[in-house]
Structure formats: structure tokens, C-alpha cells
Amino acid sequence: MAGHAAALLRRLQHLERAVRAAVARRRESDPQPDDPFRGLYLSDEAVDAALAAARDPFDPWPAGDRTAAPGNDRLAALAAAAGLTPLDEALLLVALAPDVDSRFEQFYGYLNDDVTRRRPSVGLALRLCGLPESATPARLRLAAGAPLVDLALLRVDSPDRPVLSRGLWVPDRVGGWLLGVDAPEPLLVGLAEPAAPVGPPPPGAVPLGRALDRAGARLAYLRERPGGSATALAVAALDGAGHRAIVVDLPRLAADPHPAELATALVREAVLTGAGLVVGPVQGDEPWPVWSRLTAAGAPVLAYGTQPWDPAWTALAPLQVEVAPLTADERAAVWRAALPDGLADGLDPAGATAQFVLGAPAIRRAATVAVQLATAAGERVGEAHLRAGARTQNAAGLERLARRIVPEVGWADLVLPAATLSLLRELAGRARHRDRVLREWRMRPGGGRGHGVTALFAGDSGTGKTMSAEVVAASLGLDLYTVNLATVVDKYVGETEKNLERIFAEAAGVNGVLLFDEADAIFGKRSEVRDAHDRYANIESAYLLQRMETFDGLAVLATNLRANLDEAFTRRLDVVVDFPVPDEAARRALWDRCLGERAPRAPDVDLDFLAGAFELAGGHIRSAAVTAGYLAAGAGRPVGMAELIGAVGREYRKLGRLTLESEFGRWLPLAVG
């Protein structure tokens, strides 16, 4: 810092000599040099002298003389980075002088003939640089379009005053940096943060850095696919091109009341520090001044987002780069580098988290969380810790559109036929191995198809569709998100599609299982067009057909009415699972499972009678078991047949069934009562 200050002070010596000469000339032309009120008023003699004297510039000084600038002169470095001319350097130094040496306040007050104006005016700055006040090219260096003004390296005050009497001053950040202060601009704290590359360069970083360094690319757009790491790629590419990286929160910048001023401050920070800007995620609704300011200077700007680039955003055509997700080998390398020793024996981190779509930064954060969880539990890092850490990287946006369920059931909790269980396990396997099959082996190339897995669960109400989706999610270590159709279906044309698009877009950034319950309500058959309602309903179904094909996540459609689904949906489904009504053996197992091991049972509980007499689905059996538990708790006794029969009777009434003696036998009075 001392070296930078010394370099700047050496430059100020030239300015001081020019000021001495200006003061001497001022005294020579002063009609009343001993007037104690000079600067507070103008006498007749002073006016006459001003009318008689020519307005000549002061003697020039060698502000652009590089021989006076040592190697660590930051003003010279700034001139090279911002494209400043020697005159720009001189004007900047004139404006900066009072912030470096307080004597210049007095000098400028004297030369301005006004003790209250202690900063240089435009006219005084031009004359100190050896130029007449009417020099148009020189005056344009202090107007919009010139680097000093566009980069806010120098400010021009009081736009209501005549041009020549407007004050000049240098923002604190610029003056501090020229003196060697590297503290960031306070205005940008929380909006922009410096970043350094971590680990080996991602694929594509070297060619992108070469384009920035050798081809002179100023703007690049990195379109990020799920599991891609656009930020890591941009930071590594800038590092390869010899630039620091400043990562900018673009939505926060665009939402600021004064985005243009913030964008100018960002570009100035990049120019001062020799950095590039990593800007994103791009949402497409940023105001025009943001892009025009960000791309106005020579600092490289690497924007990233998930949507295609729109040429209308900027006049500058960007270099467009596709950021693909990491391959299995690349993910494994990142996991190995991020996790220390102390893993459970035989644990393969990449294999245990193969169903998660994570980029390199997300993997490193997930590894940190996993280590913390294992340390807190006094254990070695295991599969559960890795999956819990990976789940913490989910975006929170989907929770505003769907209900999140943390799975608490497993395969042992399912009472289903063997064929149904086999299909459910196949569904989990597809989610676990889709990266290898679809990306590495390219088993489904072309057609714009996504890499998602879609299943249909069809069966009567209460046959276990939702619970099965929860079990599949639990086996994969994922959360389950159930879509509330009340927030999706809208009576206005086109709104349902917009709501679904928001859900699919948010789900693409979440490692979870997306469950559409009662899916036939929105995935129904297309029909013959008889009126406008049919036409728009068919458009809605056609949109959903296309959107399901491009979905990259794991989606489950649950329906009670499989026949109502459009056949085109069925073709696009990976797995179709039918849930039959349970037979007597399954019902007995369900009664036993739903009553559980903790609830006390009376000796008269007859599970064989309950399973054989009442043809109920699993959901109804669970509801009846819970009702019986409440009845027993209220009576202060174990769960017995009286409570169970009473609960079944209530369930029958909810279903609109008759309580017949042929079914209830000798227990009928308890069901009726």
C-alpha cells in the first residue's frame, strides 16, 4: 500500500508545480492582493481586471509522463485497463488531489476565487492541464460516453450550474484503490462476492478461458443444465485467462431501485481489480440498463442461466456455451476430493448418491454437511449422511408450489403383491442408474427427450399409491413433493399450463420425487372439439405431453381412473404400476401392520375375522385402526374387537356402505352402536 501511495504522491508533485505557477499568475493579475475578504465578494477593481485579462490556460504539466510513474503506479494500470488517455489521467489526478493532500483544498479555493469551493471546477481542471476552457475535445472527456464518467471514476457535480463551474470529485472507492486500499466497495457487499477456483478445472474451462484471453471475447452466456456448474466453469475460465472473478447475484441487482448505478459500480470494481464478472442466474426480465452498463466496459462478463439466450437482451453478441452435467467419473473425483478419510468401510460416495443431480460446488457443500452430521453423531461418514447432505442442496422454490414430505417408511412397510413390488423396485433402479444408461450409454438419443423417469401408479383409493411413492423416495434418499392440484388448475385459459411450467421448472433444480395425485384431472384424454372449451382443454393436454418428455426429474402420476388418461401419456411413461385391491391374506397383514407393535391389544382381537369379513383397501384399514386407537385411548383400555368393529362401522358409513349382518355377524350391534 505504501508503494502505491508513494507513486501517487510523486505524480502530485507535478500537479503541485502547476498549482504554484497558477497561484503566481493569479497574484500577478490580482488588483487587490491584500484584500482580507478576497473570495467572499468581487470589487469593482476585480471585475475590471477580469474584463481586461485574457483567460489563458496555466502552464501544462507532464501528467502523462510515464517516466515519473514507478512500476507499482496504480493510476497507470487503471489507464491501461479503462482505456484512459493522458488527459484523462491528468483530469483524474486534479480531481483526486484534495483527497490525498489537504493543502489542495486551499489551493483550489484560492484559484476558484471562492473559499467554499474547495474542489476543482471543470474550467480550473482544464486550465491546470494546460488547455483552454473552450477546448471541445477536452470537455468531452468529462461528458457521458467518456470512460471517466461512464465508469464513475470521476463525478461531475451540480448539473444545474454552468459546465465550467461544475465541481469534480473522485469516489472514495477509486481514490482508496489508487492509494493501495483493496477493501471492496461497501455498496456491493452481499450483491457481489469474489470467488476463486476450487479443485481441478471443470470440462470446458480451458477453451472458454482461451476465448477470453486470446479471442478477446467480452461476453459469454453459459446455459446451465441440471447438474451443471456454470459458476465453477466461469470462475475457472476467468482464472485461466488471468482474471479474478466477481460473482454477482443478478436477480438482486435487477430488483434494486437503482440497478444502473449498481451495475456501473460492479463494472468499475472489475476494471479496478482486473476481474471478470460472473452474472446470474439470468431470468430474462432484467431491465435494459443492467445489461447495457455491465457490457459497456472491457471487463469480461460471463452470464449464466437455464433458459436460451435472447439476442434482444444486449447489442453485444455473446459466446454461447452449453454447461452439461458432470459425468459419473467426474462426480466421483469431486466426491473423493471433497471427503476426507473416515468413510464407512466399502462406501462409494458417488454410487450412494448416483440418483442426485449435483454440480461440483453442490457436491462440495453436501460433503461438508455430511461430515458435520457424522461428526455430531460420533460416527464415520455413511450413506445416510451423504444423502442427507445432498438433500440440503435442494432449492426451496418447489415448496411454495408443492407439499414436501420427508419419507419415514421403507420397503418393509409395504403390503403389496410381488409383481407390484418388483415394478416399484425397477422404478427406483431407473432413477438410480439413469445417468449411466441415458448419458453414458446414450440409450435414448435425439428427439429432445429429457433424462427424467416417469411412472404411473393406478389403482383404487387407499391401495397404497402415495405410500409407495414415499417408499421409492426413501429408498433413493430423496424427499417426496406432492403437487396440490388446487394451486395448479385454473379456470382461465393458459393459466394451468403456466402453473405447471413453474412446478416443472422448480422441480428441475430439486432432487426429489414429484407426485401428481389424481393425475387424470390434468392429464386427461383429448376429446373431439365441439366448442372452445374442448379446444383449450386439448391444447392443455398437448402442452403436458411435450413438457413431460423434456422433464429431467422423477415424476409419479397417481390416478384412480387409469382409463381416463390419454394414451399418448401412457406411451411416454417408463413404468406403469397397477395397485390391486388387497386379498384376504394381504388384508390380514395390513391389519397387523396398522395396529403396530406399541399399541396394547386385547386378547379378543381376531385379525382373521377382520381380514375375511371386510373387503377394505389398505388406506381404509389404516384409518379404521387409528380410529380404534382413539376409542381405546378414550376408554382407557387396550384396543379390542369392540373398538375395531366400531371403527369399521364408521369407515363403512364414510364409504356409504350398509352394515349387514352377513358381514359383521355377532359383532353387528357394536358396528351399529
Cα–Cα distance, 129 to 93 (Å, whole number): 10
Three-state secondary-structure class, residue 453: strand
For residue 277, give the nearest of 213, 193, 214, 359 by alpha carbon. 193
Residue numbers in the chain where pLDDT is lower than 70: 1-4, 26-72, 446-449, 484-487, 520-542, 545, 564-566, 568, 673
> pLDDT at position 600, please?
94
Fold of 328-393: Helicase, Ruva Protein; domain 3 (1.10.8)
Residues sharing a CB contact under 8 Å with residue 616, sequence separation 6 or more, in sequence order: 462, 587, 624, 648, 651
Rg (CA), the chain: 37
Do 325 and 355 touch, CB atoms closer than 8 A?
no
For residue 158, give the nearest of 195, 106, 112, 209 by alpha carbon. 112
> pLDDT at position 201, please?
83
Question: In Å, how far are 6, 63, 107, 136, 167 from 18, measured between CA atoms?
Answer: 19, 10, 11, 22, 19
Do 603 and 568 touch, CB atoms closer than 8 A?
no
Amino acid identity of 145?
Answer: G
Residue 481 is given by DSSP the state E
pLDDT single digits (tens) 553-612: 888 988 887 776 667 677 778 899 999 999 999 999 999 999 998 999 999 999 999 999
**Residue in the block written with cell 418393509:** 412
C-alpha cell at 528: 373431439
Amino acid identity of 301?
Answer: V
C-alpha cell at 7: 507513486
Do 142 and 91 touch, CB atoms closer than 8 A?
yes
C-alpha cell at 297: 466496459
Residues sharing a CB contact under 8 Å with residue 45, sequence separation 6 or more, in sequence order: 31, 32
SS3 for 557-584, per residue? EEECCHHHECHHHHHHCCEEEEECCCCH
Do 132 and 126 touch, CB atoms closer than 8 A?
yes
> pLDDT at position 32, please?
60
For residue 464, give the nearest of 408, 523, 417, 519 by alpha carbon. 417
The pTM of the full predicted model, rounded to 2 decimals, is 0.76
Same fold, 186-323 and 411-579: yes
> pLDDT at position 246, please?
94
Backbone dihedral region of 419: left (phi > 0), alpha (psi from -120 to 50 degrees) or beta? alpha
Fold of 584-672: Helicase, Ruva Protein; domain 3 (1.10.8)
> pLDDT at position 623, please?
94
- What number does CATH give the domain 186-323? 3.40.50.300
For residue 425, give the nearest of 480, 475, 478 by alpha carbon. 475
C-alpha cell at 403: 407439499
Residues sharing a CB contact under 8 Å with residue 36, sequence separation 6 or more, in sequence order: none
C-alpha cell at 458: 393406478
For residue 440, give the nearest of 599, 329, 590 by alpha carbon. 329
What is the layout of strands, in order, in the sheet containing 479-483? Answer: 402-405, 479-483, 512-516, 554-559, 453-459, 575-579
Burial class (CB in 10 A: 0-12, 13-18, 19+), 285: exposed
Cα–Cα distance, 536 to 530 (Å, whole number): 11
Cβ-defined contacts of 610-614 (< 8 Å, 24+) = 610/644, 610/648, 611/584, 611/585, 611/587, 612/584, 613/663, 613/664, 613/665, 614/587, 614/648, 614/663
Instruction: Give the other-Cβ count within 10 Å of 293's Cβ.
Output: 22
- What number does CATH give the domain 411-579? 3.40.50.300
Would you list the domain boundaries of the chain? 2-178, 186-323, 328-393, 411-579, 584-672
Report residue 507: phi and psi, to 5°.
-65, -25
- From the centroid of its chain, how far is CA 288? 20
